[in-house]
Amino acid sequence: MDLLQIGSYTFSSRLILGTGKFSNSTVMLDAVRASGAQLVTVALRRFNREQAEDDLFGPLSAIEGITLMPNTSGASTAAEAVRAAHIARELSGSPFIKVEIHPNPQHLMPDPIETFEASRILAKEGFLVMPYIAADPVLAKRLEEVGCASVMPLGSAIGSGQGLATSEMLNIIIRESGIPVIVDAGLRSPSEAAHAMEMGCEAVLVNSAVAAAGNPSEMAEAFAEAVAAGRKAFRAGLMQKSGSAVATSPLTSFLGTF
Amino acid sequence: MTALPEWLSDNRDTASLAAMLSPASSQSLETLAAESRAITLRRFGRTITLYAPLYLSNYCSSGCAYCGFASDRKTPRHRLEPDEIRRELAAMKKLGISDILLLTGERTAAADFDYLQRSVAIAAEEMQRVSVEAFPMSVSEYRALADCGCTGITIYQETYNRERYEALHRWGPKKDFIARLETPARALEGGIKSVGLGVLLGLSDPVEDALSLYRHVRHLGRTYWRAGMSVSFPRMRPQTGGYEPPFPVDDHLLARIIFAFRIALPDTELVLSTRESATFRDGMAGLGITRMSIESRTTVGGYYESENEERREKGQFEISDDRTAREFCAALRRQNIEPVFKNWEPSYNGPSSSITLAMQSEKEQPCH
């Protein structure tokens, strides 16, 4: 069976869902179920232990068959992300941590230096570290070297719906990586998710595209199907694109025949 | 007279905003609303983050012509003592509030920096996120507040028209236009993570003020790249002292300003308070606004009192949307928008900094 493996964990679904931006938690939970996702990320800042109605963690942890991956969204330094990871592990019991450090709360681009530092510390502490990064092939290798469980480069800016704007860099990251590459952020349509999987991503993470859809559950299902199709196509082996037409007078006729 | 900073006349990218703001604009309000809504949905999703104000003190040393707490008003003066602050916080927590804005007047002996710092430390023990709207401070004072758990500073310029500003601020420390203008930068310099800017609509030409406000946001964003930024659109409300705003802003113009800001600043938090009516707030939810106040009391001690129906005195201004948190949230939910009470984690508190500084500051914890 074709399973996604991260650390010692395996998942049959290769779609990871984010849980922010939904109109209410019922819609969010329905979308999670419809997506078939087995790995779901939730921001520590949306854990609310004092008010159940405002809490995302409680209802998610009640769903059978999913593993929660807390994230540090809101942290702007390595020190803050490390503190957040400790609290998240304490509260959720999950070994996963999605390191998300965006010091500029406007464009939310991940800080490579702080992310590297936090990931290094947390990997050493035994977390399964999933860092959210810009599509930077060198940073991806540096993170692999310090023991991250995967790398999560962005397809384009969070919430932008610009799709795989970074595909050239993603291709290099995928080609060179020894750990799973998971495209995170920027996807708008299931076809883009399928494309990412065909390129050889091990999984994709989607949030805005589902939360902001007219019918989030249906969109979640559509993404699940697209991810599965893209994966199957990757495994089947896409036919080669032909670079140019074959010349009628062969270019190599001067070489003579055997 | 100190010269105005260059950025205040920086027209680099104001042309398209100016075109949208002009009441004679070719872009209909409906077109702007549709674009503003699409951007908001993409970037912020179907959520509104909620906060509530807590008036610590209404002592004031300034003579703002338009304010109910100006020092020449006969309003009774109080400040909350630590046990009263705790009582207010407890009453607010019962309403679900976890994100608060602490307010004072201009600096006075009764409500000075030490008082404010102590109050922030108390609030940070109880609340998930604490911001401050008080008097201008020094960089080191802002750093000390950040160390105690203050993450945001709200400081409105009120108007960017220097002549109008000087006429309206009759006396007191707030009279200095340039000093006020430089305050948000000092807060960011001190490590405060986000600043809230705004103009008090009604005091001066609203379109000119909106353009200057935009320049201020862009200037700070370029200078302090880690800065979180929010923009508020307070409109003059009836208040003690009976000031009549000379440039009244109607609902259509206010909506136009909000849509234009969302389009021009797609990633910036836009805030709407209970100064506005329930109808206007419900209408604007999802169309560009991403943060709203709830259950506002503009009196000192108002939360505990309304729980106990004690004295009712006049606040800084009259609120318009006086619905309870429950009623307000139900209205948002009917529109398919999730009210979010907690959208912050106290482990992210502390002055904004890079790795080295962050590791150093972990050692010094003056508030614990």
- The predicted structure's pLDDT at residue B352: 79
> CA-CA distance, A167 to A96, in Å (whole number)?
26
CA distance A154 to chain B (A): 15
- Cβ pair A87:B347 closer than 8 A: yes
In terms of pLDDT, which residue wins out, B318 or B197?
A: B197
Over the stretch B93-120, which tens digit does the pLDDT of each residue have?
Answer: 999 999 999 999 999 889 999 999 999 9
Any idea which of A206-215, B22-31, B246-255, B331-340 has the lowest mean pLDDT?
B22-31
Look at the alpha carbons of B351, B195, B166, B170 in this order and tell me if their dihedral is positive or negative: negative
Average pLDDT over residues A108-129: 96
Say if A211 is an interface residue toward chain B (CB within 8 Å). Answer: yes
Average pLDDT over residues A185-202: 95
Three-state SS letters, A151-195: EEECCCCCCCCCCCCCHHHHHHHHHHCCCCEEEECCCCCHHHHHH
- Which of B331, B360, B245, B349 minimizes the C-alpha distance to B50? B331
Average pLDDT over residues A90-99: 94
- Cβ pair A74:B226 closer than 8 A: no
Residue B360 has pLDDT above 60, yes or no: no
Of B45, B341, B355, the CB nearest to A78: B355
Say if B312 is an interface residue toward chain A (CB within 8 Å). Answer: no
Q: How many CB atoms lie within 10 A of CB B209?
A: 25
Report residue B317 as tokens: 């201004």
- The predicted structure's pLDDT at residue B26: 74
> CA-CA distance, B52 to B324, in Å (whole number)?
12
Of B96, B340, B348, the CB nearest to A75: B348
Concatenated DSSP letters of chain A: ---EEETTEEES--EEEE--S-SSHHHHHHHHHHHT-SEEEEEGGG--SS-GGG-SHHHHHTSTT-EEEEE-BTB-SHHHHHHHHHHHHHHH--SEEEE-B-S-TTT----HHHHHHHHHHHHHTT-EEEEEE-S-HHHHHHHHHTT-S-BEE-SSSTT----STTHHHHHHHHHH-SS-BEEES---SHHHHHHHHHHT-SEEEESHHHHTSSSHHHHHHHHHHHHHHHHHHHHH-PPPPPSSPPPSS-TTGGG---
Q: Report CA-CA distances (Å) from B343 to A43, A120, B141, B339.
A: 9, 27, 26, 10
Residue B196 has pLDDT above 50, yes or no: yes
Say if B340 is an interface residue toward chain A (CB within 8 Å). Answer: yes
- The predicted structure's pLDDT at residue B179: 93
Q: How many CB atoms lie within 10 A of CB B254?
A: 18
In terms of pLDDT, which residue wins out, B352 or A115?
A: A115
- The predicted structure's pLDDT at residue B356: 46
B43 three-state secondary structure? helix
CA distance B30 to chain A (A): 21
CA distance A12 to chain B (A): 29
The ranges assigned to domains in chain B are 12-348
- The predicted structure's pLDDT at residue B190: 94
Angle at A103 between CA A97 and CA A107, to 5 degrees: 100
> CA-CA distance, B83 to A250, in Å (whole number)?
92
Average pLDDT over residues B147-168: 95
- The predicted structure's pLDDT at residue A57: 84
Report residue B66 as tokens: 């338009």
Of A20, A45, A104, the CB nearest to B226: A104
- The predicted structure's pLDDT at residue A62: 85
Look at the alpha carbons of B331, B332, B336, B342 in this order and tell me if their dihedral is positive or negative: negative
Contact call for residues B276 and B317 (beta carbons, < 8 A): no
- Cβ pair B45:A20 closer than 8 A: yes
Count how many Cα atoms sit within 13 Å of the Cα of residue B101 in the half-sphere of its side chain: 24
> Which residue type, as a one-letter code, is found at position A85?
A
Residue B357 has pLDDT above 80, yes or no: no
Residue A165 has pLDDT above 60, yes or no: yes
Say if B96 is an interface residue toward chain A (CB within 8 Å). Answer: yes
- Residue A232 appears among annotated catalytic residues: no
The pLDDT-based confidence of A116 (bands split at 50, 70, 90) is very high
Q: Report CA-CA distances (Å) from A162 to A31, A158, A181, B22, B42.
A: 22, 9, 19, 31, 11
Indicate the average pLDDT of chain B: 89
> Which residue type, as a one-letter code, is found at position B196?
G
Share of chain A above pLDDT 70, in %: 97
Residue A196 has pLDDT above 50, yes or no: yes
- Which of A123, A125, A126, A124 minimizes the C-alpha distance to A151? A123
- The predicted structure's pLDDT at residue B40: 95
- Which of A197, A212, A138 minimizes the C-alpha distance to A167? A197
Of A21, A50, A77, the CB nearest to B98: A50
Contact call for residues B321 and B104 (beta carbons, < 8 A): no
Say if B359 is an interface residue toward chain A (CB within 8 Å). Answer: yes
Over the stretch B262-309, which tens digit does the pLDDT of each residue have?
Answer: 999 999 999 999 989 999 999 999 999 999 999 888 888 888 877 766
Over the stretch B197-244, which tens digit does the pLDDT of each residue have?
Answer: 999 999 999 999 999 999 999 999 989 988 999 999 999 876 656 788
Burial class (CB in 10 A: 0-12, 13-18, 19+), B54: buried
Say if A25 is an interface residue toward chain B (CB within 8 Å). Answer: yes
Residue B125 has pLDDT above 90, yes or no: yes
Residue B128 has pLDDT above 50, yes or no: yes
Q: What are phi and psi of A59, to 5 degrees?
A: -60, -35
Which residue in A has a C-alpha nearest to residue B352's C-alpha?
A76
Q: What stretch of H or E contains B103? A: strand B99-103
Which residue in B has a C-alpha nearest to residue A83's C-alpha?
B347
Contact call for residues A57 and A40 (beta carbons, < 8 A): no
The pLDDT-based confidence of B127 (bands split at 50, 70, 90) is very high
Average pLDDT over residues B339-356: 82
Residue B330 has pLDDT above 80, yes or no: yes
In terms of pLDDT, which residue wins out, A104 or B181?
A: B181
Say if A78 is an interface residue toward chain B (CB within 8 Å). Answer: yes
In terms of pLDDT, which residue wins out, B317 or B30?
A: B30
B residues 161-200 lying closer than 8 A (beta carbon) to A: 193-194
- Which of A32, A34, A50, A83 minimizes the C-alpha distance to B350? A83
CATH of domain A4-241: 3.20.20.70
> CA-CA distance, A73 to A181, in Å (whole number)?
20
- Which of B255, B291, B288 minimizes the C-alpha distance to B273? B291
Residue A124 has pLDDT above 80, yes or no: yes
Contact call for residues B129 and B99 (beta carbons, < 8 A): yes
Over the stretch B50-75, which tens digit does the pLDDT of each residue have?
Answer: 999 999 998 888 888 888 888 888 88
Burial class (CB in 10 A: 0-12, 13-18, 19+), A148: buried
Instruction: Tell which of A28, A104, A107, A188 to mutate to test the B interface (max B CBs under 10 Å).
Output: A104
> CA-CA distance, B257 to B289, in Å (whole number)?
11
- What fold is seen in the domain B12-348? TIM Barrel (3.20.20)
> CA-CA distance, B268 to A201, in Å (whole number)?
32
Q: What stretch of H or E contains B50? A: strand B47-55
Which are the contacts of B292, defined by CB distance < 8 A and separation ≥ 6? B48, B49, B50, B51, B271, B272, B273, B274, B281, B285
Residue A49 has pLDDT above 50, yes or no: yes
- The predicted structure's pLDDT at residue A173: 95
